[in-house]
A and B are shown apart, each in its own frame.
Chain A
Amino acid sequence: MTEKYHVPVKITPPRFKPIGKHAIIEFREDCAGSCKKCVKKNCIYNNFSDNRKHISAMEEPEYLYTCSGCFRCVQECTKGIFSRVINPEYRALGDDYWRADIIIRLWYQAHTGNIPVSGSGYGGPFTGEGFDSIWTDMSEIVRPTRDGIHGREYINTCFELSERFKGLSFNDDMTLAKKPRKILEVPLPLLLELPKKLIINKHIILAAAKAASLLKTFFLIDGKNYTPNLSEYKDNLIPCLKTEELKKYKNLILESKAISIEYSDTEDIIGAVSGVRSFAPNKTVIIKAPLNRNADKIASELASKDVDTIYFYADDHGKELNRKNPLFLKDSINKIHNRLVSDLTRQNINIVFSGGIAMAEHVAKAVIFGADAVAADIPIMLAMECRLCKKCAKNGGCPVKLDEEFDADWGAARIANLFGAWHGQLLEVMGAMGIREARRLRGEIGRSIRFENLEKDIFEPIFKRRSV
């Protein structure tokens, strides 16, 4: 029996008290004092016993990361001295794309490795922009296996970075004309790369490299950041190099399973790939290119060349780079995918996208729209408690001390927990869709339900023409 892909998750608490959403505030002047019925004793989550500080030492008000918002203390206090407010730090957390609720949920997953579960239905907006404008379909009868919940471990989430196998070719004497290159398979449609705009140091790099090893995926690392202590993880590292650096890093190229070359429209990129092939003929070669208005053209050109994978990077919010009205990632993915499908070259190449991948559902949806895989960047930092305050990018300093030495094993465990939970969620949606292969999900828009299509097909016959 082949080995099943499994992410080793373990509880890894944060080093700093996370920012909570709610605070319970007290109006002490009304308190009867030493009340025998004090609701603080009855908190079923032990919030007050775990957090209680002496009143004189209390930094007002006391924010409770663990407050579950049951309102019992507010409603049961005999004097009604409690109320609840939103933590101002929570309001300031993140931005309009990396929202506070997403960040807090990522912290939870990095802490526990668990899939976020809650009761009482869905409480969010009906629909939204970008990835929020589609639902994934489910299959009422057709299933990946007949074993229900036990069958999830049979769902395959692999994708390939290596050359797309196009079939064997033979010489006249029936010997192999060309030996296929070695297959480089990744068990999770997710690569890791550190965000450029946040702090990068040797401790963070080491944690990410260790996490890539735990997750059996790859961490894309700038050649200049590659240090000898990382060689232990070389099987999980992809050095990212510029064309002019290829000679300098020849040894690194030889010892890595795959390399990435930065795309440049002024350099002979195909010549550079050939150069690498001349001394490392079996190497998996990725071309890393910006996701801009020409991305589909770049993809179209490279798909007919000897390139194994293209890696497009969007901005932090999943938008195309350097464009006035940029497309969002899902639309860019679909545009590029469809271009290659119409070129009849989609089967020649793998395409990976990064930028704005913030939740597990984004992985599944990106693949549905035509990506082979995605890369996560900011979530790596969030897994290590980053507050996304971007102080490090401005004038230095980090509220969670990622700019100082920390235990890389702790960081790696948190990152592995986060993406382990994402893997679990990917299995949930794939299971529901009746898809047992991530590779089968690629471009399978039939397994998605688009908001605009539902409005057109179902609401337009009732309400006539949409005016917004």
Chain B
Amino acid sequence: MRKQDKINLPKTVETPSRFKNSISKYIIRRNSKCAACGLCAKLCPYGVHIKHDNYAKTIRPKEHKCIGFKCKTNNFFCIDNCPQNALTLKENPALETLGDYRWTPEMLIAHWEMAETGNLPIVDLEYSLGNSGGGFDKIRFKIPEKQNRINIADNIIDMSVSLNRSGDNRIKKVISIPCYGGGMSFGSTALSVLTGRAKAAHALNTLTCTGEGGYPEEFLPYKDHVITQVATGLFGVREDTILNAPIVELKYAQGAKPGLGGHLLGDKVTKEVAALRETVVGNSLFSPFPFHSVYSVEDHKKHVDWIKEINPSCLISVKVSTPIDVEMVAIGSYYAGAHIIHIDGSYGGTGAAPDIAKKNIAMPIEYAIPKVHRFLTAEGVRDKITVIASGGIRNALDVAKAIALGADGVVIGTAELVALDCIRCTNCESGRGCARGIATTDIELRDMIEEKYVMRRIINMYMAWRKQWSELLRTYGLKSIKELVGRTDLLVNLDYLDEKEKSKYKPAPNFEMIR
């Protein structure tokens, strides 16, 4: 392989959690019999036990690094080696209070670990499958044929996605990973989260999105990596914000609350938010559904043309949710001149939405992707438009499954926030906002998180994901993620296999969930 074919990957930097006590699968307790001999610290290769030279005592174990009971066969197993029998190991009972069917406790803990180290976890955590009993959690990659495997390094495997496939003379935007960041508006999350995401997008050569809250000037140094969203409220949409952007996203709907629009409460419209949205402080803001100027595909084309006229080089992405006729919306967007059709499934979303909408309105993304892919292929236009999927895509294998079902790439929102220590308590909007300092502009809480931390943790997570994609592609003899698009022949669904076939695949995790 020639030297120039190697891809320069961003560096990962070990970035431990902001919180003192980790949440871990295993817990180790050290009782008062500990003589602080430091043997455990010397023995443990995973860094669970640490004893600083100038400290009299061994510090509390870094439990999230502990590999648990499987360590028992190792001669360095701390529990058996402790001369004082001062250490005990058990599974953390608090795990049953963590996570949900889609983001299981192990998936959360694994993502925190990836965000910390940039590597896949060593601890036995199931991070690719949830407990939802359907969709991605039933779909597996087929057991690969051994002879197809190729042995090439991670930094040679191509993960890039071309976003302009139309053949027009607009920019040929290429992103280096098959993911970009979902729209989060100014005011919905701490500013350091927004700019940290933009920095990470810059380092990863991918994109992030403004959401509909306007374009803070802090984004300008990274403007080639920031999508400007034009949503129905048109907040902060100005000629310069359109001109800044390599891609402009017209948001028709979002998967978490399809057909409902948005409502920013008056007390959230602070001086800064109002300035950016060009509105009045303290007045509630409505983002109606849908665009009041769009009744038809022709009207939609007028919008696309309007953006294209202002910015002669940008690409147009059209974000829609997943109604039963989503493929008709996709083809309509193609003929209106969109470069990207972004379909947002019903189970995702980061912002607050009515529970009834999140659960019940529109279909999950697992169905929408093949529906759109198949229809655009039959219409003969699939290679002229980029299909981006989002909404409930949680981990690296979900991304790969979405691509194999027919998407070119995906948009990630929740997983990026999980990388920042989001615990999915779902109280993003209540009271002062996110207690963990992510989705809040509260003057005290927002200072809990720094831009550099955000950037590093997000880079780390994507770099860990990249390792997982690389290994997957190698097993099928693929050198580029582009070769995976639409390869449904590489997928199986457990509900469609007989018992014998099914037994060859990893069963879904069967955590006892307390709803």
Write the residues of chain A forming the contact surface with B, with a CB cutoff of 8 angstroms.
21-22, 44-45, 68-72, 74-78, 80, 83-86, 90-91, 99-101, 105, 115-127, 135-141, 143, 146-150, 359-361, 364-365, 425, 428-429, 431-434, 449, 454-455, 457-468
Does A119 lie within 8 Å of B289, measured CB to CB? no
In the assembled complex, the Cα of A457 lies from the Cα of B256 at a distance in Å of 24
Query: Cβ of B347 < 8 Å from any Cβ of A?
Result: yes
Q: Is the CB of A429 within 8 A of B355?
A: no
Question: CA separation between A137 and B426, bound complex, in Å?
Answer: 24
* Complex contact B360–A141 (CB within 8 A): no
Q: Contact: B102 with A70, CB < 8 Å?
A: no
Flag if B22 contacts A138 (CB, 8 Å).
Answer: no
- B262: min CB distance to chain A, Å: 8
Is B336 located at the chain interface by the 8 A CB criterion? no
- A125 and B360 CA atoms in complex are apart in Å by 12
Total interface residues on B, using CB and 8 Å?
102
Q: Is the CB of B485 closer than 8 A to any CB of chain A?
A: no
Rounded to whole Å, the gap between the CB of B159 and the closest CB of chain A is 24
CB pairs A–B below 8 angstroms (9 shown): A21-B514, A71-B423, A72-B436, A75-B23, A117-B353, A120-B417, A123-B103, A148-B286, A433-B259
Question: Once bound together, how far apart are the Cα atoms of A57 and B354, in whole Å?
Answer: 39
A458 touches B134 (CB 8 A): no
List the one stretch of B114-122, B317-325, B450-458 in contact with chain A. B317-325
Chain A residues, Cβ within 8 Å of B259 = 138-140, 143, 431-434
Contacting pair B253 A84 (CB below 8 A) = no
Q: Which of B2-20 contact A (CB under 8 A)?
A: 17, 19-20
B367 to chain A, nearest CB (A): 5
Judge whether B355 and A118 touch: CB under 8 Å: yes
Contacting pair B361 A136 (CB below 8 A):
yes
B244 at interface (Cβ–Cβ under 8 A)?
A: no
Contact residues in A for B252 (Cβ distance below 8 Å)? 140
B429 / chain A contacts, CB cutoff of 8 Å: 117, 119
- Determine the residue in chain A with the shortest Cβ distance to B131: A125
Q: Contact at A135–B431, with CB atoms within 8 Å?
A: no
**Selected contact of A118 from candidates B324, B361, B426, B436, CB within 8 Å:** B426
Whether a CB of chain A sits under 8 angstroms from the CB of B137 is yes
Q: How far is the CA of A139 from the CA of B445 in the complex (A)?
A: 38
Could you say which residues of chain A place their CB within 8 Å of the CB of B296?
141
| Chain B proximity of A190: nearest CB distance (Å) | 15
Which residues of the other chain, B, contact A143 by a CB distance below 8 angstroms? 259, 289-290
A122 touches B361 (CB 8 A): no
Is B357 among interface residues, defined by CB-CB distance under 8 A?
A: yes
**CB-defined interface of B325-343 with A at 8 Å, one 1/0 digit per residue?**
1000100000000000000
Let me know if A360 and B356 touch, CB within 8 A: yes
B3 vs chain A, min Cβ distance (A): 40
| Beyond known contacts A83-B94, A84-B94: 14 more, CB 8 A cutoff | A45-B435, A69-B425, A74-B23, A119-B353, A120-B422, A122-B256, A122-B359, A122-B392, A123-B424, A126-B101, A454-B363, A457-B371, A463-B492, A463-B495
> B491 an interface residue at 8 Å Cβ cutoff?
yes
Say yes or no: is B232 at the interface (Cβ < 8 Å to chain A): yes
CA of A119 to CA of B349 in the docked complex: distance in angstroms?
A: 8
Q: Kindly list chain A residues whose C-beta atoms are within 8 Å of the C-beta of B445.
A: 44
Given A83-B93, A125-B132, A126-B134: A68 and B425 within 8 A (CB)? yes
Q: Is B238's beta carbon under 8 Å from chain A?
A: no
B133/A71 in contact, CB under 8 A: no
Task: Specify which of A149, A361, A467 is in contact with B495 (CB 8 Å cutoff).
Answer: A467
Distance from B354 Cβ to chain A, minimum over Cβ atoms (Å): 5
Our count of residue pairs bridging A and B at CB distance below 8 angstroms stands at 269
Q: Is B381 an interface residue (CB 8 A)?
A: no
Proximity string of chain B (472-515) to chain A, C-beta cutoff 8 Å, 1 when within and 0 when not:
00000000000000001001110111100010000000000011
Among all A-B residue pairs, the 6 with the closest Cβ atoms? A148-B288, A126-B134, A119-B428, A432-B259, A123-B100, A70-B435
Q: Which residues of A contact B497 (CB under 8 A)?
A: 467
- In contact, A122 and B102 (Cβ under 8 angstroms): yes
Q: How far is the CA of A459 from the CA of B138 in the complex (A)?
A: 12
Q: Which residue of B lies closest to A131 (CB)?
A: B360
Nearest-neighbour CB distance to chain A for B236, whole angstroms, equals 18
A138 touches B290 (CB 8 A): no
Q: A74-B23, A86-B97, A459-B367 are in contact. Are A69 and B134 (CB under 8 A)?
A: no
Q: A101-B515, A140-B329 are in contact. Are A149 and B263 (CB under 8 A)?
A: yes
- Closest-by-CB residue of A relative to B353 is A117
B135 within 8 Å of A by Cβ? yes
Residue pair B498, A467 in contact (C-beta under 8 Å): yes
**Residues A70 and B496 in contact, CB atoms below 8 Å apart:** no
Q: How far is the CA of A135 from the CA of B326 in the complex (A)?
A: 14
Q: Tell me if B350 counts as interface (CB < 8 A to partner A).
A: yes
A77 touching B21 in the complex, CB below 8 Å, given contacts A68-B427, A121-B414, A433-B259: yes
Docked-complex contact B356 and A428, CB < 8 angstroms = yes
B294 beta carbon closer than 8 Å to chain A: yes
Q: Kindly state the separation between the CA atoms of A100 and B232 in the bound complex, as whole angstroms.
A: 38
Q: Smallest CB–CB gap between A301 and chain B, Å?
A: 35
A121–B102 touching, CB < 8 Å = yes
B216 proximal to A (CB < 8 A):
no
Given contacts A44-B432, A75-B19, contact A117 B355 (CB under 8 A): yes
Contact, CB under 8 Å: B295 / A141: yes
Q: Is residue B169 contacting chain A, with contact meaning CB distance below 8 A?
A: no
B258 within 8 A of A: yes
Q: Is the CB of B515 within 8 A of A100?
A: yes
Q: Is B52 an interface residue (CB 8 A)?
A: no
Q: Are A149 and B101 neighbours in the complex by a CB distance under 8 Å? A: no
Choose one: A78, A83, A99, A365; the contact of B515 (CB below 8 Å).
Answer: A99
User: In the bound complex, how far is the Cα of B422 from the Cα of A431, in angstroms?
Assistant: 31
Bound-state Cα–Cα, A136 to B257, Å: 12
- Chain B contacts for A69, CB-based, 8 A: 97, 423, 425, 427
Complex Cα distance A76/B352, Å? 26
Shortest CB-to-CB span from B312 to chain A, Å, is 28
CB neighbours (8 Å) of B258 from chain A are 138, 432
On whether A124 and B515 interact (CB within 8 A), knowing A119-B439, A138-B323, A143-B290, the answer reads yes
Least Cβ–Cβ distance between A113 and chain B, in angstroms = 14
Is A115 a contact partner of B498 (Cβ separation < 8 A)?
A: no
Residues of A within 8 A of B295 (CB): 141
* B288 and A126 contact, CB distance less than 8 A: no
> When the two chains form their complex, are residues A125 and B101 in contact, meaning their CB atoms are under 8 A apart?
yes
Inside 8 A of B287's CB, which chain A residues have their CB? 148
Write the nearest CB–CB distance from A255 to chain B, whole angstroms: 38
Interface status of B282 (Cβ within 8 A of chain A): no
Contacts of A86 in B (CB 8 A): 96-97, 514
From A104, which residue of chain B is reached at the shortest CB distance?
A: B515
In the complex, A119 Cα to B450 Cα: how many Å? Answer: 22
Contact B432 A121 (CB under 8 A): no
Docked pose: A205 CA to B348 CA in angstroms: 42
Query: What's the minimum C-beta distance from B209 to chain A, rounded to whole angstroms?
Result: 17
If A120-B424, A458-B367 touch, whether A137 touches B323 (CB-CB below 8 Å) is yes
A-side contacts of B491, CB under 8 Å? 462-463
Residues in B with CB closer than 8 Å to A22 are 97
Shortest Cβ gap from B326 to chain A (Å): 8
Contact status B260-A431, CB under 8 Å: yes
Asked, given contacts A80-B60, A432-B361, whether A71 binds B23 with beta carbons under 8 Å apart, the answer is: yes
- Docked pose: A116 CA to B429 CA in angstroms: 12
* Cα A90 to Cα B97 with chains together (Å): 12
Are A149 and B288 in touch, CB under 8 angstroms? Answer: yes
Q: Is the Cβ of A123 less than 8 Å from the Cβ of B94?
A: no
User: Counting chain A CB atoms within 10 Å of each CB, which of B101, B257, B427, B498 scores highest?
Assistant: B427
Report whether B356 and A115 are in contact in the complex, using a CB–CB cutoff of 8 Å: yes
- Report the Cα distance A105→B515, complex, angstroms: 11
B residues within 8 A CB of A359?
356
Check if B346 is an interface residue, CB within 8 A of chain A.
Answer: yes
Residues of B within 8 A of A101 (CB): 515
Q: Which of B101, B321, B424, B432 contacts A138 (CB 8 A)?
A: B321
User: B430 contacts the other chain (Cβ, under 8 Å)?
Assistant: yes
What chain B residues lie within 8 Å of A45 (beta carbons)? 431, 435
Closest to A45 in B: B431
A425 to B101, CA, bound (A): 24
